[in-house]
Structure 1
Amino acid sequence: MEYIRVTSIDDPLFGRMHQLLGKVFPPEEVLEFELWKGPLEDPSIRVFVAVHEEEVVGATEYRYYPQWNIAMTDFTIIGQPGLSIGRFLAKNREKDLQELAHANGKVLFGMFAEIYDPYEREDFDFGGVKPMNPFVRREVLSHLGYKRINFPYVHPSWKNDGEAVKGLDFCFLPTDEQITDIPTDLVTSFLKDYYAVLPNKPAEWIQMISELEAKETVELLPL
């Protein structure tokens, strides 16, 4: 299996990856094909595909933020079972991020991720791909060390229609497993930067940020 970076919508591997995105994620979570042009050409956004026998069988997108020494996993896709795709993507992503942090003169502080909460909302089918089942994914991410950040989470829809997307938790994977809370300013600064591309923020999101900014730290809880 190969771990290959995609940097253009003209790359045939991107077309195959985007089809996989549309297969496993609900529509409000998928950015339109043409709108990927800028993100793919942004050197700070890292999109990699897992290629097995010339087929795109998995993908991951993530970013490293040197100003905060943290990363964000945008998505991880496992296209089929039985190939250890999840581990392959996670180990290659970890290696890449540690190299980026090292180049920044630091050890990676941790990584954010949005994680579906199937106990709150159960209508996720993810294209019938069993490894993408939200109960399975949540448990795998727990095994990797992700913690739920203790606040009620919504995010702006990627359709940019001003709707709030619910049914997810905002989580953090600390490099140091002894960490039990993180600065709230880190969370709010990151979220405002991450969603700056979407001007139509729902009222629920604005209220969430306001309530977070009134605190100094926020707990990390088990998934």
Structure 2
Amino acid sequence: MDYRRITDIADPLFREVHQLLSDVFPPEEVLEYSLWKEPLADPGIRVFAAVHEGKVVGTTEYRYYADWNVAMTDFTIIGREGLGIGRFLARQRLKDLEKLAAENHTELLGMFAEIYDPYRVGYDFGGIKPMDPYVRREVLSHLGYKRIDIPYVHPSWQGDGEAVSGLDLCFMPGDEELESLAAPLVADFLTRYYAVLEDKPEAWTSMISQLRGRESVALLPL
């Protein structure tokens, strides 16, 4: 299996990647195809495909923020059972991030991720069993993700200014004993991450304001 980076919307692999996105996630979580041109060309956004026998069977997107020494996993998709795609993507992603952190003369503090909470909202998506929200949540817990103790919403990727709920903002610390994060770091990260979306819901701006008024936020079991 190959781990191939995609940096151009014209790359034939990207159409397969975007189809996986559309098959797995609800519409409000998927950026429209043509709007991917600039993100793919951004050196700070890393989109990789797992390619098996010439076909895209999985994909992941993530970012590394050198000034904060943290990463964000935008998505990880398994497109076929029985090939060990999830472990392959997780290991290759971590190797890449560790390399980026080493070039920054440090070790990775940790990685953010938004994780669906199917125990709170009844989701009906996923496509194949490995992408079922219950399975994904448990797998990410096993990887070491912890839930950031805030009521979480994010702006819709459809750009309509709606608030999307039913997810938790989580963090996988490099130090498993870490029990909290600086709240201003979380606020700064989210502000930069969602800067591309002009319309922000009031619930999101209120959440950011509350974070800026706190010193820290707890990391709880997922």
TM superposition score normalised by structure 1: 0.99
Mapped to 2, the partners of 1:126 and 1:135 lie a distance apart of 10
The alpha carbon displacement at 1:217 in A equals 0.3
- Identity rate of aligned residues, in percent? 65
Residue by residue, what CA displacement relative to the aligned partner does 1:177-202 show, whole Å, maximum 9, x if unpaired? 11000100110000000000001000
Instruction: Indicate the SS of the match to 2:170.
Output: strand
Letter in 2 for 1:170: L
Mapped to 2, the partners of 1:122 and 1:52 lie a distance apart of 33
The alpha carbon displacement at 1:213 in A equals 1.2
Q: Are 1:139 and 2:133 counterparts? A: no
Mapped to 2, the partners of 1:168 and 1:192 lie a distance apart of 17
Which residue number in structure 2 is paired with residue 160 of structure 1? 159
Mapped to 2, the partners of 1:218 and 1:104 lie a distance apart of 26
Letter in 1 for 2:22: G
Which residue number in structure 1 is paired with residue 203 of structure 2? 204
Instruction: Indicate the SS of the match to 1:126.
Output: coil
The alpha carbon displacement at 1:122 in A equals 1.2
Asked if 1 retains the 8 angstrom alpha-carbon contact of 2:123 and 2:133, the reply is no
Q: Which moved more, 1:205-214 or 1:192-201?
A: 205-214
Asked if 1 retains the 8 angstrom alpha-carbon contact of 2:8 and 2:40, the reply is yes
Which residue number in structure 2 is paired with residue 217 of structure 1? 216
Mapped to 2, the partners of 1:124 and 1:186 lie a distance apart of 33
**Aligned 1:104-115 pairs, distance under 5 A:** 104-115=104-115
Instruction: Indicate the SS of the match to 2:217.
Output: strand
The alpha carbon displacement at 1:64 in A equals 0.4
What is the root-mean-square deviation in Å for CA atoms of aligned residues?
Answer: 0.6
Q: Are 1:125 and 2:128 counterparts? A: no
Q: Are 1:83 and 2:92 counterparts? A: no
Residue segments in structure 2 that go unaligned for 5+ positions in a row: none
Residue by residue, what CA displacement relative to the aligned partner does 1:145-165 show, whole Å, maximum 9, x if unpaired? 000000000000001101000
Q: Are 1:184 and 2:186 counterparts? A: no
Residue by residue, what CA displacement relative to the aligned partner does 1:56-115 show, whole Å, maximum 9, x if unpaired? 000000000000000000000001111110000000000000000000000000000000
Mapped to 2, the partners of 1:19 and 1:90 lie a distance apart of 21
Mapped to 2, the partners of 1:8 and 1:126 lie a distance apart of 26
The alpha carbon displacement at 1:124 in A equals 2.8
Residue segments in structure 1 that go unaligned for 5+ positions in a row: none
Which residue number in structure 2 is paired with residue 98 of structure 1? 98
Letter in 1 for 2:111: M
- Size of the aligned set, in residue pairs, is 222
Residue by residue, what CA displacement relative to the aligned partner does 1:119-143 show, whole Å, maximum 9, x if unpaired? 111123222x110001100000000
Mapped to 2, the partners of 1:26 and 1:193 lie a distance apart of 23
Which residue number in structure 1 is paired with residue 38 of structure 2? 38
Q: Which structure 1 residue ranges, 4+ long, deviate > 2 Å from structure 2?
A: none
Mapped to 2, the partners of 1:15 and 1:195 lie a distance apart of 24
Instruction: Indicate the SS of the match to 1:81.
Output: coil
Letter in 2 for 1:84: G
Instruction: Indicate the SS of the match to 1:199.
Output: coil
Letter in 1 for 2:213: A
Which residue number in structure 2 is paired with residue 172 of structure 1? 171
TM superposition score normalised by structure 2: 0.99
